[in-house]
Structure 1
């Protein structure tokens, strides 16, 4: 759908490549847009602790034990047995936060930084 919209917007033919046009328009790919939106929500939850039902699902590693490790500021990935659980907020937020922690932590306003 995104490629079709780009072709329509830029007046490209069906056989033309759209990657350069998408980059020129400044559009994010659908997967990257999902990651950006999810990290934006996660940043808001971490900063404001609202909504409470989402902030309760987040656990930092230093909340689990008192050992001083280099990963103490990372979110703890919950144990799971099914692949369906990997779609949950608690799992996705831990995976994405730990992967992009260095970009999120120093920000005051996530939207302006990204």
Structure 2
């Protein structure tokens, strides 16, 4: 539900200009990038979401969040866990661990067919 998703963004005692619970809008972008792998500011598929994000106030309330969430199919799917890698943060951590294990391997040779 949107209220649960929004609660993940909220900071204690933060309120918007109307006194409603709020969250810094930068946390929204950080959550999408770190947890779901969506780069709203760079992905051309998320252009509508980027423009809406830029129009949001610095502190967003639940209504702002709902409008942003619904602005792009990928954003909505990310928050609903419907992406191919719904636990992107877990995937990134595992890839990082694999990289750390193999990065010291210098025994390979460039294939002769690669210029």
TM-score computed with the length of structure 1 as normaliser? 0.22
TM-score, L = length of structure 2: 0.22
Higher helix proportion, which one?
A: 1
Give the number of the structure with larger relative contact order, counting CA–CA contacts within 8 Å between residues 6 or more apart: 2
